[in-house]
Amino acid sequence: MTLAQLEVLITLDECRSFSRAAMRLGTTQSAVSHALRALETEFGVKLALRDASGVSMTDAGERLLLRAREMTALAATMAQELGDAKELKTGTLRIGSFGPTSTVNLLPPLLAAFKQAHPGAQVRIEEESDEVVDEWLLQKRVELGFVVVPDERFEVLPLVQDEFVAILPAGHPLAAHKAVPVSALNGLDFVLTEAGCGPVIVPILQKNITRPKVLYHFTQIISILQFVRRGLAVSVAARLALPDMPEGVVYRPLLPAQPRTVGLACLDVARLSPLARAFWETARERTREQARTQAKPKARPRAMPVAV
């Protein structure tokens, strides 16, 4: 068993395809198949199954994957600590991100600051729903991930305060309000997002004894906005998951307010690799800078001299 073979197994699980795994690894399909067969022969068990839907791991494969991720992560950390990467010149960091909230709003400035300080480091970012990112962290598929706070399974660095808002056609009667009572959505035609924040929205409605007519279930925010713009439905989503208000659509805060906090998470800060720790500290320092900027008192405008 070699680290290279374990990396093949990990990549095959992530890609669910021999061809895509080979493309990511920069090798051939036959090389991927050979590495898998070598592992199966060594352990005497079937590790992966291939059918029309793609590649899936057997129970034995899933058990080996957890250890494989631990071993490859440890090997990467050792390389960072003992090689040229001791000064963070090289190495690869994996981060899990969910939707526009983290991928569009949080990651770009953090990544730019990190790359400026560590230009030789490679950062691989994979995007999925927040629930899947949670699983990736637990499975050690990624070392860092963005999560909705609180989550006691992880150590979390809170980054930004967000809130859920009503999405309304510009001509809707509720659009005239500065904020929309959750109860006002009762009975309205509604489109429910199937993306990451979808499971959070239903409890918000239930808590406020509100039952809109859920006629549509979409995963793409652009589809939701188009249906709302055409007056076919209203919706609710996290503000940071939304683009600037398009023509014909308005966003309004909910009453009572429905906040959420998004943060950067890991399993154990003390055991982060040097690159992951550096990214964590970059995020921490940027958060502190933003807090200091917001805390600065605004300068009072100077009084204009009065002629006498």
The CATH number that applies at residue 244 is 3.40.190.290
Does residue 303 carry a pLDDT above 70?
no
Instruction: Give me the mean pLDDT over the 277-288 stretch.
Output: 92
Does residue 42 carry a pLDDT above 90?
no
pLDDT score recorded for residue 7: 83
User: Looking at the domain assignment, is residue 6 inside a domain?
Assistant: yes
Query: What is the distance between the alpha carbons of residues 171 and 154, in angstroms, rounded to a whole number?
Result: 43
Does residue 81 carry a pLDDT above 70?
no
User: Looking at the domain assignment, is residue 106 inside a domain?
Assistant: no
pLDDT score recorded for residue 228: 97
Does residue 58 carry a pLDDT above 80?
yes
Does residue 163 carry a pLDDT above 90?
yes
State whether residue 166 is helix, strand or coil.
strand
Does residue 29 carry a pLDDT above 90?
no
Query: What is the distance between the alpha carbons of residues 170 and 189, in angstroms, rounded to a whole number?
Result: 15
The CATH number that applies at residue 26 is 1.10.10.10
Does residue 299 carry a pLDDT above 60?
no
Separation in Å, CA 307 to CA 301, 302, 304: 18, 15, 9
State whether residue 136 is helix, strand or coil.
helix
Query: What is the distance between the alpha carbons of residues 204 and 181, in angstroms, rounded to a whole number?
Result: 12
User: Looking at the domain assignment, is residue 39 inside a domain?
Assistant: yes
pLDDT score recorded for residue 88: 59
Contact 166, 245 (CB under 8 A): no
pLDDT score recorded for residue 84: 52
Does residue 225 carry a pLDDT above 50?
yes
Does residue 239 carry a pLDDT above 80?
yes
User: Looking at the domain assignment, is residue 251 inside a domain?
Assistant: yes
State whether residue 176 is helix, strand or coil.
helix
User: Looking at the domain assignment, is residue 18 inside a domain?
Assistant: yes
Instruction: Give me the mean pLDDT over the 258-272 stretch.
Output: 92
Query: What is the distance between the alpha carbons of residues 171 and 109, in angstroms, rounded to a whole number?
Result: 36
At 79, the pLDDT band (50, 70, 90 cuts) reads low
Does residue 86 carry a pLDDT above 70?
no
Q: Show which of 82, 112, 145 is a domain's final residue.
A: 82
User: Looking at the domain assignment, is residue 10 inside a domain?
Assistant: yes
User: Looking at the domain assignment, is residue 164 inside a domain?
Assistant: yes
- H or E element: which one contains 48? strand 48-51
- 253 and 166 within one domain: yes
Q: Which residues contact 114 (CB under 8 A, 6 or more apart)?
A: 121, 123, 278, 279, 282
Q: Show which of 59, 82, 105 is a domain's final residue.
A: 82
Contact 215, 192 (CB under 8 A): no
Q: Which range among 13-22, 56-65, 208-217, 267-276 has the greatest average pLDDT? A: 208-217
Residues facing residue 50 across a β-bridge: 55
What is the rounded average pLDDT for all residues in the chain? 86
DSSP 98: -
Query: What is the distance between the alpha carbons of residues 157 and 273, in angstroms, rounded to a whole number?
Result: 17
**Domain range for 39:** 1-82
Instruction: Give me the mean pLDDT over the 174-186 stretch.
Output: 96
Q: Show which of 240, 260, 280 is a domain's final residue.
A: 260
Structure tokens at 274: 């040097």
Taking only the tens place, the pLDDT of each residue in 103-130 is: 888 999 999 999 998 888 889 999 988 8
Structure tokens at 247: 């023509």
Number of domains making up the chain: 2
Does residue 131 carry a pLDDT above 70?
yes
Of 46-55, 226-235, 237-246, which gets the smallest average pLDDT? 46-55
Query: What is the distance between the alpha carbons of residues 185 and 254, in angstroms, rounded to a whole number?
Result: 10
User: Looking at the domain assignment, is residue 174 inside a domain?
Assistant: yes
Query: What is the distance between the alpha carbons of residues 90 and 211, in angstroms, rounded to a whole number?
Result: 53
